[in-house]
Structure 1
């Protein structure tokens, strides 16, 4: 069920790869002749010295690019750009504090998100799509009911955990005194003698 369409991260990684290739090109001196400044008895640079310096610089640049722009690094930068892009978009969409439920990709399993959701769709949306508005109301009501049930179950679980903590010392005789009379215990054996 995989599709051939690239993901946003793949597109951004491809863009970054082309930029890295552009940046990885060796440096070349300008083909236009540079004006030679007047020197006071100092010999001008020879072309061979310039070529040697460029060769060494290009070797260092190539070595740096192999280390800095590896496949994992490019993927990581692509994912960072993607995350920054979505976060910037969400800040402009959400705007108000307390409306995290409207943010793209928010987790509708969280209690605070469910509590923030309005009970009805906007009036404009109800006019344009009444069936979807009714479906939203139904799903939102169901979500609130499930959220209430989850809170109740969480309270029950917390109560059971507290009871288990209280009964912990009695597990496998860990906190029971050894001198108590128990069936087939040490004291019973002593009493039978």
Structure 2
């Protein structure tokens, strides 16, 4: 029986950011409402402009959302989670109301549970790759 490690914060965030990048780089098309109000424009002209626009969007996404940049953002998010966990532990140790994370606890699962208990919908989308109960 193989045991797979739970996903890391970096892998969860990288997957989420990559999915959003793919969504942003999908080809654009004029809406039906726009086409109806602009019927006098030749189809060829509209298609040429849309092809150029889609090419520019694709090039932009490749430059701005490069895998290295996505990884860097995911690492920054992980660092913020870790630092906030340490702050929470410090508050708990000082008799404050910090909730803290136990040593050895899967941080990705902890964050999923904590955020999910607070009803933050974006965590469910972000964590769809697994790691939650």
TM-score by length of 1: 0.40
Partner of 2:19: 18
Partner of 2:31: 30
Partner of 2:69: 73
Aligned length: 94
* 1:58 is aligned to 2:54: yes
1:30-87 Cα deviation digits (max 9, x unpaired) = 24565538xxxxx932222221111111101111111112221111111112222333
Partner of 1:45: 41
User: 3-state SS of the aligned residue for 1:27?
Assistant: coil
Q: Which runs of 5+ in 1 are unaligned?
A: 38-42, 105-193
Partner of 1:181: none
**Higher relative contact order structure (alpha carbons within 8 Å, sequence separation ≥ 6):** 2
> What are the within-5 Å matches in structure 2 for residues 42-191 of structure 1?
44-92=40-88, 94-95=90-91
- Deviation, structure 1 residue 94: 3.8
For 1:20 and 1:84, how far apart are their aligned partners in 2?
22
Point out the structure with max Rg over C-alpha. 1
For 1:33 and 1:24, how far apart are their aligned partners in 2?
21
For 1:73 and 1:44, how far apart are their aligned partners in 2?
43
For 1:71 and 1:47, how far apart are their aligned partners in 2?
36
For 1:80 and 1:24, how far apart are their aligned partners in 2?
23
CA RMSD, Structure 1 to Structure 2 (Å): 3.2
For 1:52 and 1:12, how far apart are their aligned partners in 2?
36
1:91-135 Cα deviation digits (max 9, x unpaired) = 455459x95xx977xxxxxxxxxxxxxxxxxxxxxxxxxxxxxxx
